[in-house]
Structure formats: structure tokens, C-alpha cells
Amino acid sequence: MRLRDPEAMNDLVSYLLRSGVLLSSGIITLGAVLALAKYGSLSTSAFFVYLPNQIPHGTFNVSFSGILSGLAILDPFSIIELGVVVLLATPVARVLLSVFLFAAEGDRLYVYVTIVVLALLLFGILVTPLIPLFNA
Amino acid sequence: MLAVEFILIMFLASILAGAIGAIVGLGGGFVVIPVLTIGLGVDIHFAIGASIVSIIATSSGAAVTYVKDKLTNMRLGMFLEIATTSGAIAGAAISAYTNSMVLEIVFGAALLISLVPLVMKIGEDIPPIPELRGLAKRLSLKGSYKELDGSQINYNATRPGLGLVGMVAAGMISGLLGIGSGSFKVLSMDLAMKLPMKVSSTTSNFMIGVTAAASAGIYYARGDVNPLIVAPVTLGILIGAFIGTRILLRTRNPVVRKLFAVVLALTAIEMVLRAFGL
């Protein structure tokens, strides 16, 4: 892998996107099949209860520890959420790799531009959920 | 409704959403949200959570093809993404203190008005190439791609400042209303920066994924991303996006623009209807 070759970097971005998409769709398919087997003949109304006065608003796990313990017992919804997390990671990984892609092309200006975008993105994903202002 | 029926309906609707979204540079929320709320009676918050995930699925699913074919202009997308991600974060912060009905009417009206210049150049294939100067030159906002007949299309961007203003607006709308606002992104690139339609739609396709990811954390933590809804939506969208990219590569710019205009009109009407609670 020659990191200084823009063509090779472009192939790497394409390869990474394909792997991320395939991995996430594989995990979600597994979760969906298990959900169909377990809940397929139940009414959807039980799963679509929206609780406006509490966080989280849904009746399913959103914490990482909750998802991890769900995975251990093959809980369909925890498996689906793991797949969603992998999917959410693909745009971040793409921006991260673009930093190296522009570096390989020797384009300093766009290395900086991309680092700014990456910083904003990570701030949005990791920091804003912790700020009460964003959680009303 | 039984869960098995729900999953099947959302899976099929999402294939359609992903295919159209991948062609015109939108996220698929314009199909997913009304099918969920109007069609299946799901709470709007869950619909928006599913829409955010569907945007990322359309973007990453279509990008697998578009990166390889070098249709997406990564420099252009990355430069504009500074404006959209900051706009999206600001929008998400003030969304708690604003009336979404007013926003939806304003956004719907803005989309309807922008149909006019779009329709005026409806038959345009490749825009006249403007001279590359000023900020656009310093940022090397130019590029080229191969058409299906093998001809090389070169293009330059113009008025990057105006494009940037459009993108801040697109980002704010995205954060405020929980939509991808690919429509505003395509419009900014098409009308302000005068890029070929396919470059606008595929670059928007890259951008909506990044913008949506910036606000996805908030929706996820709030518990708006419902697994039973997003599973069939994500799988359907990914299949649809794959089909859509194959269609785009074989389609000429004027056809893409016509399809975009139709989708834009429908989105605008939908937005106004939603504002009035329909």
C-alpha cells in the first residue's frame, strides 16, 4: 500500500466504503431476520410508543452497555443498533481517510479543510449529545 | 398492523426512496417520512430518526459507485461541508426554541420559488464553462468526468461565496428539521455555482451523509432511531441506492435535472402540508 499514491488512496476509500456498507447491512439483516422470527406476528403498536417526556423517547436501549448486554443474548434490536452504529461510522471514516488522500496528493490546503470538517463532525456526534442545550 | 407487514412495506418503499435519492442527490427522507407518518401512522419523531439513518445509507451506499467513477468532486464537497456541518450543529441547538411550522412553510416556499430558475434551464446539458478565478481558483474548484459516450467533460465552479451561504442555510435547515436538505445543496451547486447536474447531485450525495452524521448522534441519544423501523429502511435504501447509481451512470444531465425538479416540487408540497399538520 503506497500512501503517497492518490490512485491507491482513492481505491482505499472505495474499498473502505464497500466494507462498511456490507458489514453494516450484514449485521442489520441478521437483526431483522431475528426480529421477524421473534416479533413478526405481533402488532407494531407495542414497538412504536413515543415517550415525549423522557430521554430516551423510545422503549429500546440506546446506551452502549445496554446494547452490549443485548448482543450477548442475541437481542434482535441490539444487533440492529450495532449495524446502525457501523453505518454511522462510514461517513466519519470517509472524511478521516480523505485527510490522508489529500496529503497523498500534496494538497496542504485541503488537508486543513478536511481536518476542520472532521473536527466539526466529531463534535456533532460525540459532544453535542452531552450538552443539555441540544437535548430539549 | 403486524410487524412482518410493516417490515415488508418499509423495505419496498425504501428501495424506491434509495434509487431516486441516489440519482438526484437527496436522502430518501422525502419518501420515508410521509410513508411512515401519513401511511403507517408512526410518530413524526421516529420518522425523522429513520430519515436521518436513511440519508447516511443513501450517501454511503451510492458513494461506493460514485467514488470509483470519480463523479463526486471531493474538494468542492469538503469545502462546502465546513458550512453545512457548522450550520447543522447550530440548527440542532436552536431547534428546541423555534416553531417548526414556520420553518416548514419557509423551507417549502423557498423550494417552490427555486423551481423557477431550475425550470428555466430544464433542458441544459453542460453549462457554459465560466472562467476559474478568485476564491474558486485558489480552492481549485474545478474538475472533469467521463460521460457515457466516453467524452471528457471539464467544468469550473463560480461564485463559491454564494454557494457557501446556500450551504449554511442547507445545514441549518438540516439541523432544525432533521432532514438531509439535499434539495438545497443541489440547488446551491446548480444555480449559484453553475456545475453540471450530475456533479451537483453526486457531490450533494457525499455531503448529505456527512451533514446527517453530524446530527445523528443527537437523534440516536434521544432514542428517536427505532430499530424496528430503521432495519427495513436501511436495507431497502442500500439496495435502492445501488440500483440508482447504475441508472445515473447511464442517464444524461437534462434527465437528471427533470427528475430533480419533479422531486423538488413534491418535497415542497409535502413540507407545506406537514406544516399544516396533514
> What residue segments make up the domains of chain B, in order of their start?
3-275
> Angle CA(A25)–CA(A30)–CA(A34) in degrees, nearest 5?
145
Contact: A29, B81; criterion CB under 8 Å: no
Residue B130: pLDDT band with limits 50, 70, 90: confident
Cα separation, B77 vs B167, in Å, equals 10
Cα separation, B209 vs B203, in Å, equals 10
Grid coordinates 436501511 are at which residue? B234
Q: Which of A7-21, A75-89, B159-173 has the lowest mean pLDDT?
A: A7-21
Residue B278: pLDDT band with limits 50, 70, 90: low
Is A113 within the bounds of a domain? yes
> Which positions 230-269 of B are in contact with A (Cβ < 8 Å)?
230-232, 234-235, 238
Residue B12 C-alpha cell reads as 419496498
Which tens digits make up the pLDDT trace of B256-277?
888 988 888 888 888 888 788 7
User: What is the per-residue pLDDT for A1?
Assistant: 46
Mean pLDDT of all residues in B161-188: 86
Put simply, whether B135 touches A (Cβ < 8 Å) is no
Smallest Cα distance from A1 to chain B, Å = 18
User: What is the per-residue pLDDT for A136?
Assistant: 55
User: What's the total number of domains in chain A?
Assistant: 1
Which tens digits make up the pLDDT trace of B53-75?
999 999 999 988 887 778 889 89
Within 13 Å and on the Cβ side, how many CA atoms surround B119?
10
Mean pLDDT of all residues in A36-59: 84
Which tens digits make up the pLDDT trace of A101-123?
888 888 999 999 999 999 999 99
Q: Give me the percent of chain B exceeding a pLDDT of 90.
A: 33
Greater confidence, A27 or A68?
A27
Cα separation, A19 vs B93, in Å, equals 33
- Characterise B126 by phi-psi region: left (phi > 0), alpha (psi -120 to 50), beta (else): beta
Put simply, whether B66 touches A (Cβ < 8 Å) is no
Task: Provide the terminal-to-terminal Cα distance of chain A, rounded to the nearest Å.
Answer: 47
Q: ipTM, 2 decimals?
A: 0.90
User: What is the per-residue pLDDT for A29?
Assistant: 97
Angstrom distances, CA of residue B17 to CA of B135, B149, B263: 36, 28, 11
Which tens digits make up the pLDDT trace of B69-126?
788 898 999 999 999 999 988 887 777 677 767 777 877 887 787 787 778 777 777 7
Mean pLDDT of all residues in A4-26: 84
User: What is the per-residue pLDDT for A132?
Assistant: 74
Mean pLDDT of all residues in B124-147: 84
Grid coordinates 470509483 are at which residue? B68
Q: Are B10 and B25 in contact (CB under 8 A)?
A: no
Q: What is the pTM of this model?
A: 0.90
Grid coordinates 428501495 are at which residue? B15
Residue from the list B1, B63, B214 with its beta carbon closest to the beta carbon of A44: B1
CA neighbor of B253 nearest in space, from B95, B117, B122: B122
Which tens digits make up the pLDDT trace of B194-251?
899 889 999 999 999 999 888 888 888 888 899 999 999 999 999 999 999 999 988 8
Is A22 within the bounds of a domain? yes
Residue B107 C-alpha cell reads as 423551507
Residue from the list A25, A43, A57 with its beta carbon closest to the beta carbon of B238: A25
Residue from the list B7, B218, B238 with its beta carbon closest to the beta carbon of A128: B218
- When computed from its CA atoms, the radius of gyration of chain A, rounded to whole angstroms, is 19
Rounded to 5 degrees, φ, ψ at A25 are -70, -30
Put simply, whether B8 touches A (Cβ < 8 Å) is no
Could you check whether the bond before residue B196 is cis, i.e. omega within 30 degrees of 0? no
Mean pLDDT of all residues in B165-184: 84
Q: Which of A43-57, B26-40, B256-270 has the lowest mean pLDDT?
A: A43-57
> Which DSSP string corresponds to chain A?
--TT-HHHHHHHHHHHHHHHHHHHHHHHHHHHHHHHHHHTTSBGGGT----TTSSS-SSS--SHHHHHHHHHTT-HHHHHHHHHHHHHHHHHHHHHHHHHHHHHTT-HHHHHHHHHHHHHHHIIIIIGGGSGGG--
Mean pLDDT of all residues in B149-168: 90
Is A129 within the bounds of a domain? yes
Residue from the list B3, B78, B89 with its beta carbon closest to the beta carbon of A124: B89
Distant-in-sequence, close-in-space partners of B85: CB < 8 Å, separation ≥ 6: A117, A120, A121, A124, B171, B210, B211, B214
Mean pLDDT of all residues in A3-26: 83
Side chain identity at B176, as an amino acid letter? L
Smallest Cα distance from A57 to chain B, Å = 5
Q: Which domain holds residue A17?
A: 6-40+59-134
Q: Number of CB pairs < 8 Å for A and B?
A: 205
Is A45 within the bounds of a domain? no
- Which residues of chain A neighbour B14 with C-beta distances below 8 Å? none
